[in-house]
């Protein structure tokens, strides 16, 4: 598997492309969005413009992970990101995370972006497993993850205090044989995941700069 190659992946609504340092300002705006803050990390000032510019400017040099900008195909606007990281070569596995700013939500762009990345992960990179860790109260993300074929595998109970209450982390994954059967469009995936999760909800939680 070669994660040093940073592809451009094109869908009907979105284009996934490598990050550059010039994307830092757009990312900073997305990170100020209340929903992004709620489901990722507090806006504590640690992600300075200098740190963001260094982080996104260095993504294309990394050969152990794949960070791609999610952009609007018609305008080129940066809407968010999709990432494969924590590569385990012997298991042919990676962890996945994503975030979208407000202008990338509710239009199917997140669903398409995840499908594009997973198609590349299984079809071109030869991964066997893509997994994620997610909060138990993000119904928007849970809906998308189920829709593209992620299956709930377990729950870490009450791992963090959020908004005055303990929150669970949900573990989800999709395997290469599953992907080969549905390519991100499972006919019964939502029902299966509802039973496994007991109706919970998730969002990506880790791997931030």
The tens digit of pLDDT for each residue in 35-71 reads 888 887 666 667 888 999 999 999 999 999 999 999 9
Selection from 194, 102, 79, 104 nearest residue 147 by Cα = 194
Task: Give the CA count within 13 Å in the CB-facing half-sphere of 43.
Answer: 12
Quick check: helix, strand or coil at residue 99? Answer: strand
Whether 137 shows a pLDDT value over 90: the answer reads: no
Please choose, from the candidates 84, 94, 100, the residue with its C-alpha nearest in 3D space to the C-alpha of residue 39. Answer: 100
Query: Which band of pLDDT confidence, cut at 50, 70 and 90, is reported for residue 108?
Result: very high
The model carries a pTM of 0.86
């Amino acid at each position: 598997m070669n994660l040093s190659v940073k592809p451009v992946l094109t869908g009907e609504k979105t284009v996934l492309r490598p990050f550059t340092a010039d994307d830092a300002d757009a990312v900073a705006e997305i990170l100020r969005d209340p929903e992004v803050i709620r489901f990722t990390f507090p806006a504590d000032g640690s992600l300075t413009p200098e740190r963001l510019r260094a982080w996104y400017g260095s993504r294309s040099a990394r050969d152990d992970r794949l960070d791609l900008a999610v952009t609007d195909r018609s305008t080129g606007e940066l809407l968010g990101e999709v990432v494969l990281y924590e590569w385990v070569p012997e298991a042919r596995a990676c962890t996945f995370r994503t975030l979208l700013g407000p202008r990338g939500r509710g239009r199917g762009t997140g669903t398409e972006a995840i499908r594009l990345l997973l198609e590349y992960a299984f079809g071109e990179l030869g991964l066997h497993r893509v997994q994620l860790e997610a909060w138990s109260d993000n119904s928007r993300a849970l809906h998308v993850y189920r829709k593209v074929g992620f299956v709930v595998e377990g729950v870490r109970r009450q791992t963090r205090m959020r908004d005055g209450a303990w929150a669970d982390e949900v573990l989800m994954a999709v395997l290469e044989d599953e992907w080969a059967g549905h390519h991100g469009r499972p006919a019964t995936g939502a029902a299966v995941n509802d039973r496994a999760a007991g109706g919970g909800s998730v969002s990506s939680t880790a791997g931030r700069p």
